[in-house]
Amino acid sequence: MKYLGMPPYDDLEKIRELSKKDNLNSFPLLAANLGLIENEYEHYEKVNGDVTLLNPPLILHEDLKNGLKADYSRVLKALSYIAEIRDELSPDVCPMCGSFGTGQADHFVPKTTYPEFSLFARNLVPACKCNQTKLASYKGAHGERILHPYFDKSLDQRILYLEFSGDKASPYLAVELTLPYKTNADAKYHVSSIVAKGNVFNWASKEWSKIQIRPSATIFQKENGGYTTAEIRRMLEKAFLNSDRDYGTPNNWKSMFYYGLALKADYHEYIRDCVNQAQP
């Protein structure tokens, strides 16, 4: 999860340009409906991407709906901004779930529901495969919604972390919200709909196994062992702060992992023993 700010494109100028392209599937119907679509673009921005405040989907001709959705997948110079969003806006951390890497452009509100936003840059977010689990889960039944990387500045704050509990040899993992966000319906919905459905638990389990079995492959690389519990705690704190900086967000998986461990004093002793015993 990461706040990105606005993508560097003028969407109104872009859609006007696209409406004149006779090699697009949406031609010429896009031009005929340009005013309606421009109004929806402006409204989307006016409500700061809050999907619960969007107008109902436009009633468009099926040929235009299908054309807009098909154009999204076209490899054309006029649509090169889609690849730029996918590959360049957040190349090393997914702003939707906090994983490492993107590789896909996710329609924040699905193009199947809102085809008018198929080519709208502010509705296209760089994402990893979590967009395949998100699907149409962009708002709940009680006014809650997912968080928007272009509009929700709260994504700059530490919203979530990994909670470790149970048997230390094989702990139970859960995504927990930090105190200011525990009662935030949008943050809770975002975590349950996207983050917790992804691969974060599998990734974190592997990281935990490294600490147990091969700690030299993690942040614990001190020669000759001899770590104290206090040193372990300080290293965990340093690790999540470094990850915050490296990825430009405290809501990446590494920060979530090390922040969660930093909170668990009893785990510090267990980690100390694992690391010291593994030293030659």
Chain segment 165-184, per-residue pLDDT in tens: 999 999 999 999 999 999 99
pLDDT computed for residue 224 by the predictor: 63
**Residue 198 within any structural domain of the chain:** yes
**Residue 4 within any structural domain of the chain:** no
Q: Which domain holds residue 59?
A: 11-141
pLDDT computed for residue 31 by the predictor: 98
pLDDT computed for residue 256 by the predictor: 98
Residues 114 and 199 placed together within one structural domain of the fold: no
pTM, two decimals, is 0.93
Phi, psi torsion values for 104, nearest 5 degrees: -140, 155
**Residue 122 within any structural domain of the chain:** yes
Phi, psi torsion values for 73, nearest 5 degrees: -90, 0
Task: Please give the biggest Cα pair distance in the chain.
Answer: 73
Say if CB 125 and CB 149 are below 8 A apart.
Answer: yes
What contacts 275, CB < 8 A, 6 or more positions away? 211, 215, 220, 225, 227, 232
Q: Name the nearest CA neighbour of 55 among 70, 45, 44, 64.
A: 44
Residue 191 DSSP symbol: I
Over the stretch 157-169, which tens digit does the pLDDT of each residue have? 999 999 999 999 9
Residues 167 and 207 placed together within one structural domain of the fold: yes
**Residue 5 within any structural domain of the chain:** no
Average pLDDT over residues 228-256: 97
The rounded percent of the chain whose pLDDT value lies above 70 is: 97
Average pLDDT over residues 62-88: 96
pLDDT computed for residue 17 by the predictor: 97
> Which one of 118, 141, 164 terminates a domain?
141
Per-residue confidence band for 187, with pLDDT thresholds at 50, 70 and 90: very high
Residues 83 and 125 placed together within one structural domain of the fold: yes
Is the Cα torsion angle 17, 20, 26, 28 positive or negative in sign? Answer: positive
pLDDT computed for residue 65 by the predictor: 98
Residues 90 and 169 placed together within one structural domain of the fold: no
Looking at the predicted structure, is the pLDDT value of residue 114 above 80? yes
Residues 175 and 96 placed together within one structural domain of the fold: no
Is the Cα torsion angle 251, 253, 258, 264 positive or negative in sign? Answer: positive
Over the stretch 20-55, which tens digit does the pLDDT of each residue have? 999 999 999 999 999 999 999 999 999 999 999 999
**Residue 3 within any structural domain of the chain:** no
Alpha helix (H) residue ranges in the chain: 11-18, 29-32, 34-46, 62-72, 80-88, 131-134, 185-190, 200-213, 229-247, 253-262, 265-278
Looking at the predicted structure, is the pLDDT value of residue 217 above 90? no
Cα–Cα distance for residue pair 259/158, rounded to 1 Å:
10
Looking at the predicted structure, is the pLDDT value of residue 212 above 80? yes
Cα–Cα distance for residue pair 20/54, rounded to 1 Å:
27
pLDDT computed for residue 216 by the predictor: 85
Looking at the predicted structure, is the pLDDT value of residue 203 above 80? yes
Average pLDDT over residues 76-98: 95
**Residue 220 within any structural domain of the chain:** yes
Looking at the predicted structure, is the pLDDT value of residue 278 above 90? no
Residues 89 and 40 placed together within one structural domain of the fold: yes
Residues 205 and 266 placed together within one structural domain of the fold: yes
Residues 162 and 269 placed together within one structural domain of the fold: yes
pLDDT computed for residue 279 by the predictor: 58
pLDDT computed for residue 280 by the predictor: 58
Looking at the predicted structure, is the pLDDT value of residue 143 above 80? yes
Looking at the predicted structure, is the pLDDT value of residue 222 above 70? no
Cα–Cα distance for residue pair 251/93, rounded to 1 Å:
9
Looking at the predicted structure, is the pLDDT value of residue 59 above 90? yes
Cα–Cα distance for residue pair 44/37, rounded to 1 Å:
11
pLDDT averaged over every residue in the chain: 94
**Residue 147 within any structural domain of the chain:** no
How many distinct structural domains can be found in the chain? 2
Say if CB 220 and CB 183 are below 8 A apart.
Answer: no
Looking at the predicted structure, is the pLDDT value of residue 225 above 80? no
Phi, psi torsion values for 20, nearest 5 degrees: -95, -5
pLDDT computed for residue 102 by the predictor: 83
Cα–Cα distance for residue pair 122/54, rounded to 1 Å:
13
SS3 111: coil
